[in-house]
Structure 1
């Protein structure tokens, strides 16, 4: 009888111990937070919720407007009386950039603040020349000034249209909120010249007239430009500088085009 009671007690103790082990709840720190309604950002990140997981998006696509000028002017190929014939009015020399689309590629595995940007765009450049001067191309490709003799209100321009492809390295810095970022980028822009022309507006017999003369004007078909761009939210500025002169070697004055401007609209 005693042996039977002792065996029964051992059996009951074993069942009780097993039931305690299977019903025990491990009230750890994360569980307490979840039960109490407290959300820890560290736990969310570990579970995969991370602002930095969004893809990197650069800044290229959009419409930009700039002012054009020339640097490092050298007219050593010309006589004294012809020097400076391509001096332009910067406030009336404009650049309209229509950057159609962009491709962005982040360079960080766990962040989205550094990346490469490329795309496709179009750049329409014009230079306002002296009102009584335009240019012409000789048979040997040399560029010479040509003086105009019309009535008042003359306007003379040299314009080119380029297809542009950039390669930019961009850095972004969150300001107050991760979505509001100051950015700065720099790199190269490959330019393919599509067309060039001179345009003269003048008056004849008190009527407004326009003369447009297309040609290559010894301007290279391809060129590279260095560029720097920066901005924060709706304020975006840029500058670019051509790495080669405007005209082919020994075909015209040595002039390095540059542009400074702002983005009017981002896509």
Structure 2
């Protein structure tokens, strides 16, 4: 009889072992310091031997807290004063950021007006003065960066330094259509026309190496400070009906200036001032260029 009971017990034991191995869920009960019960539903070791946590019942003791971690979408799980951040890892966040060095093509365009400021005719005869008076509306400025390399200066990519090549065209429309400009004895002077022209102007073109300090305090918003270094490509005196174009000397081959711009979603306003006089010493009236208007950038 005893032998039969032992055999029956062994058979029951072998029958229960597979069932116990197949169980995955279990409910464990723990007592807290105040005597209340905490229910934690767990998943026992699976086929690869890994324990996982399935559910923790909501409690009003503050022992377990689940809260938002910030604007990056992370979640913080606090247990007994210890926090666990659930979200992107630091490596994943780095992968989402823009590259440290960027190459921009045809960016930082300027469309505006240009005028001469502080014109001094003290070395000219009274009859030759005021020949650089302008019509501001038709006097335009156009500029763009053909190639620009931007280097981020901080980890958040809010501050960067830009260096590239920029082409600039300035059109100075003279107020007096009855004159054009010429060079006599190394000095720029007014030259009277036989009859008034439809328009009379001076056009300069230059290639520069601007250095930009770019600050992005918010998304799509950009503030830029610029140091311009422009090298003169050519200067011409032009009048129309019929059209005549004559090369004009006396301009400085190098111009240095400062500027700034503010833009949102690429569109904004700019201003730039030439610290270097436009003409060489004793080659023309002492004056500086000032330009202002609209800007557009493709790098945002």
Q: Does 1:40 align with 2:70?
A: no
* Counterpart residue number, 2:139: 93
C-alpha separation between the residues in 2 aligned to 1:181 and 1:27? 42
- Seen in structure 2, the aligned counterparts of structure 1 residues 243 and 58 have a Cα distance that, compared at 3 Å, is farther
Greater fraction of residues in helix: 1
- Seen in structure 2, the aligned counterparts of structure 1 residues 156 and 170 have a Cα distance that, compared at 3 Å, is same
C-alpha separation between the residues in 1 aligned to 2:227 and 2:103? 15
Q: Deviations over 1:66-104 (max 9, x none)?
A: 110111121111122322110111111111213212110
C-alpha separation between the residues in 2 aligned to 1:212 and 1:88? 19
C-alpha separation between the residues in 1 aligned to 2:50 and 2:107? 59
* Counterpart residue number, 1:134: 180
Q: Does 1:165 align with 2:215?
A: no
C-alpha separation between the residues in 1 aligned to 2:221 and 2:49? 54
Deviation at 1:183, TM superposition (A): 0.9
Question: Would you say the 8 A contact 2:220–2:266 is kept in 1?
Answer: no
Deviation at 1:48, TM superposition (A): 2.2
Question: Would you say the 8 A contact 1:247–1:253 is kept in 2?
Answer: yes
Q: Does 1:50 align with 2:83?
A: no
Question: Would you say the 8 A contact 1:67–1:95 is kept in 2?
Answer: yes
How does the TM-score come out when normalised to structure 2? 0.67
**Unaligned stretches of 5+ residues in structure 2:** 1-44, 56-65, 67-72, 77-84
User: After the TM superposition, which residues 192-203 of structure 1 pair with which residues of structure 2 at under 5 Å, given as runs?
Assistant: 192-202=231-241
Query: Could you say what the CA RMSD is over the residues aligned between the two structures, in angstroms?
Result: 3.0
Question: Would you say the 8 A contact 1:197–1:213 is kept in 2?
Answer: yes
Q: Deviations over 1:16-45 (max 9, x none)?
A: xxxx9x96847599xxx9xxxx95395434
Q: Deviations over 1:215-259 (max 9, x none)?
A: 3x2101111111111100142221111111110112111111011
SS in 2 for 1:48: helix
How does the TM-score come out when normalised to structure 1? 0.75
Question: Would you say the 8 A contact 1:183–1:232 is kept in 2?
Answer: yes
- Seen in structure 2, the aligned counterparts of structure 1 residues 62 and 199 have a Cα distance that, compared at 3 Å, is same
* Counterpart residue number, 2:298: 266
SS in 1 for 2:209: strand
Greater gyration radius: 2
- Seen in structure 2, the aligned counterparts of structure 1 residues 28 and 239 have a Cα distance that, compared at 3 Å, is farther
Question: Would you say the 8 A contact 2:113–2:137 is kept in 1?
Answer: yes
